[in-house]
Amino acid sequence: METRAPFVIVGAFVLAAIAAVFGFVFWLHNSSGLGARTSYQVQFNGPVPGLLVGAAVLFNGIRVGEVTALGLVPDSPRQVNATIAVDAATPVRADTKVGLDFQGLTGVPVIALEGGSATTPSGQLPTLIADPGAGQSMTQAARDALRKVDSVLSENAEPLKETIAGLKVFADSLARNSGKLDGIVAGIERMTGADKPVVTKGIYDLKIPSDFPAGKPIKGQLAIAEPNAVVMLDTQRLLFAPGLEAPELAGFQWSDAIPKLLQAKLMQSFEVYDIAHAPIRASDMVQADHQLVIDLHTFQIGGDQPEAQIALAAKILGKDGKVAAARLFQASRPINKLEPLPVLAAFNDAFAALAKDLVGWTAATL
């Protein structure tokens, strides 16, 4: 007896250790502990790949139990029944959603429970029905999608071939008519102005002469009307004689339409000459003794050698509307270089000469 006693003690210790290990593993596998459990029946209407007895049951992502039984239904080949045991405190309701989830890199399947109405009583429930396609993994979903794509391609093989053939014919036609297409595109660019470089506009004003020669003062009240001009001259753009152009002056722009600009600058010239008898505009509705009527003929760059050209006809009308005097005035100055500042300087010189001549003639006539 004394010899056998140590062996009994050692054997009992080994058995206790083994039981403790099994108990620890079971506790580790079942995080919900060994408390009260409630069993539910779950029905899957489709395959449940990889689902095993002992697989975890999650409720809103938290482990609450495990699968205790799996079985097939002889009368329904597609149906799979599962029995799950979950913690009694788990709020499983009749409208709780049931699905199959795949966790980790290896895709271990688990039964996933989710939600439910708080107003629905808990307790013994009818069989929980899993969502359609609950057992479908990402791989299966991809295979089904590819199967559908293949089916669509198979059913529409002929239309696809005709479409591809039509695209080939269209591409060949484009290749044969590439020259015409280039011409069409170029025409559209010209029509929309897309072929022209972006120009920076500069606004320029005429300079008033200040060195008028001494002469007779202006008698009576003189009114100056806005010059009459053809539509072409009613612009702020710099005008060129036919056959002459300068792309570098595309951004040149007068401070106002040419007739209005000329009227304003002539009135300022008369003011400089005799501020005591400054003229008024004919549109001011003031009775004037005389009216200066101007017909603008030219305000452009022209000539064999580029020059600033200004030409107009002036008439002085009396109160009775009859012409008291009339005369043609013109002035031109050469342009050293077709650039904005040299062009402006030439127009300033030409206008100064014309304004002095016009103001002196008007004062002498009145």
Element containing residue 136 per DSSP (H, E): none
- CA dist 260 and 348 (Å) reads 16
Task: Provide the residue type at 67 as one letter.
Answer: V
What are the residues facing 76 on neighbouring strands?
Answer: 73
Q: Are residues 120 and 211 in the same domain?
A: no
In a domain, 82, yes or no: yes
**And the tokens for 363?**
């004062």
Domain boundary pick from 101, 131, 161: 131
Whether residue 123 has pLDDT greater than 60: no
Provide DSSP, 224-258.
EPPPB--GGGSSSBPPB-TT---GGGTTEEESS-H
Q: What is the CATH number of the domain that holds 329?
A: 3.40.50.10610
pLDDT at 257: 94
- CA dist 7 and 310 (Å) reads 134
**If you average pLDDT over every residue of the chain, what do you get?**
83
Q: Are residues 105 and 237 in the same domain?
A: no
Whether residue 70 has pLDDT greater than 80: yes
1: pLDDT confidence band, cut at 50, 70 and 90? Answer: very low
- CA dist 56 and 45 (Å) reads 20
pLDDT at 191: 73
Give the structural domain span for 93: 31-131
**And the tokens for 310?**
């200004």
Report, as an integer, the average pLDDT of 216-226. Answer: 89
If one counts the domains in the chain, the total is 2
Domain boundary pick from 80, 105, 131: 131
Give the whole-number percent of the chain exceeding pLDDT 70.
85
Gyration radius from the chain CA atoms: 51
pLDDT at 32: 47
Residue 42 and residue 111 in contact, taking contact as beta carbons nearer than 8 Å: yes
18: pLDDT confidence band, cut at 50, 70 and 90? Answer: confident
- CA dist 217 and 362 (Å) reads 10
pLDDT at 148: 84
pTM (2 d.p.): 0.49
pLDDT at 359: 92
What are the residues facing 320 on neighbouring strands?
Answer: none
pLDDT at 325: 92
Task: Provide the residue type at 173 as one letter.
Answer: S
Residue 66 and residue 54 in contact, taking contact as beta carbons nearer than 8 Å: yes
> Which is nearest to 338 in space by CA: 250, 243, 206?
250
Burial 232-258 (b: 16+ CB within 10 A, else e): ebeebebbeeeeeebeebbebbbebbb
Q: Are residues 111 and 211 in the same domain?
A: no
Whether residue 135 has pLDDT greater than 80: no
Q: Are residues 229 and 109 in the same domain?
A: no
Residue 64 and residue 86 in contact, taking contact as beta carbons nearer than 8 Å: yes
Report, as an integer, the average pLDDT of 220-244. Answer: 90
Whether residue 309 has pLDDT greater than 80: yes
